[in-house]
Amino acid sequence: MGHLVRRSLCAMLLPMCLAGLSVTAQAADIPYPSPVPIEAPLAVTSPWSYRFIPYGWLVSMNGNQTVRGRTVKVDATFVDIVEKSDTLLALMGNFEARNGALALYADAVWTKIGLDGNTVRTRSLAPGVVGSLGAAADFSTQLAVVEVGAAYQVASAGALKFDILGGVRYWYQEADLSLDLVGTLNLAGLELIGGRAVAKSGAVDWVDPVIGARIRYDLAPGHELFVRGDIGGFGVGSKFSWQAIAGYGMEFGTYQGVTYSGVIGYRALGVDYAQGSGTRRYEFDMVLHGPVVGLSMKF
């Protein structure tokens, strides 16, 4: 009886085993799909480009400076400043970010200058200040000018491009006048130091709105001429301020994605600002001008 049961089970299982082997063989004949290649992500290119220009401005100064009601005329070339100033320091730089027709810019100048009486002459006293002015012995100033704004290209014709711009220009100054004492000198508002009377302005600052235009012309690939002019103040900060810049830039190499250019030009910056009266009178009516030499880095 057991023998018959075993034979019956074998008869039932054998067809099932054969069917399983057939399915396995058919599955082995089915090719596996090829793996899908993974593509590297595309590099994202920013629409913005950036330019940084540290530069030197060989400044000359011409104009009038009033501190504590005492006015002196300053007439100093860059050579005079280098020869006669024992505190000549300067930090200057320009930055621009451009996206198509739009550009955002910033410019900063900080300088500390000391001059002797050979380049400073007495002029007058402010209304309400009596007595003789005395000879100006020394003049020193610490000046910072920071400008931020935006420019937009409104027209182009081949190699010629025209931008309009607007922004604000921040001024900061501390000025000291050292005057020889005379018998009739009114000492109101002055400090006595040794045998001299010193007029100190303290920290004076103001902000001018600025509007202007710029022309850029590509002489050849990597060679650019540029001219910029602006006006500002309008009685908001100073009575009036203005600026004119002309220059030439020439590319001379690219290293690790940064394009280097040399920049030369000439810059003039003028301002007429006044506040207070009598012995509290402060006025800065000055033109700063001179050659500019810089290194442009574009990336």
| CATH number of the domain to which 223 belongs | 2.40.128.100
Judge whether 200 lies within some domain. yes
Range of the domain at 223: 49-298
Judge whether 72 lies within some domain. yes
**Distance (Å, whole) CA 111 – CA 78:** 13
| Contact by Cβ (8 Å): 129, 188 | yes
Which of 63, 56, 125 has the alpha carbon at shortest distance from 290? Answer: 56
Which of 108, 114, 109, 112 has the alpha carbon at shortest distance from 89? Answer: 112
The reported pLDDT for the residue numbered 68 is 85
Could you give the C-alpha distances from 131 to 124, 182, 185, in angstroms and in order? 10, 9, 5
**Distance (Å, whole) CA 179 – CA 132:** 11
Which of 180, 159, 142 has the alpha carbon at shortest distance from 65? Answer: 142
The reported pLDDT for the residue numbered 5 is 45
The reported pLDDT for the residue numbered 37 is 57
The reported pLDDT for the residue numbered 230 is 98
* Torsion angle of C-alpha atoms 17, 22, 27, 29, degrees rounded to 10: 150
**Distance (Å, whole) CA 93 – CA 171:** 16
Return the SS3 of 183.
coil
Judge whether 12 lies within some domain. no
The reported pLDDT for the residue numbered 12 is 54
Q: What residues in the chain have per-residue pLDDT under 70? A: 1-44, 84-89, 124, 128, 130-137, 181-197
Judge whether 62 lies within some domain. yes
Judge whether 291 lies within some domain. yes
**Distance (Å, whole) CA 109 – CA 245:** 15
Looking at residue 42, its amino acid is: L
Judge whether 21 lies within some domain. no
Burial 188-218 (b: 16+ CB within 10 A, else e): ebbeeeeebbbbebeebebebbbebebebee
The reported pLDDT for the residue numbered 11 is 53
Give the contacts of 158 (CB within 8 A, at least 6 positions apart): none
Alpha carbon distance, N-terminus to C-terminus of the chain = 95
Judge whether 5 lies within some domain. no
Judge whether 28 lies within some domain. no
| Contact by Cβ (8 Å): 88, 81 | yes
How many distinct structural domains can be found in the chain?
1
The reported pLDDT for the residue numbered 181 is 65
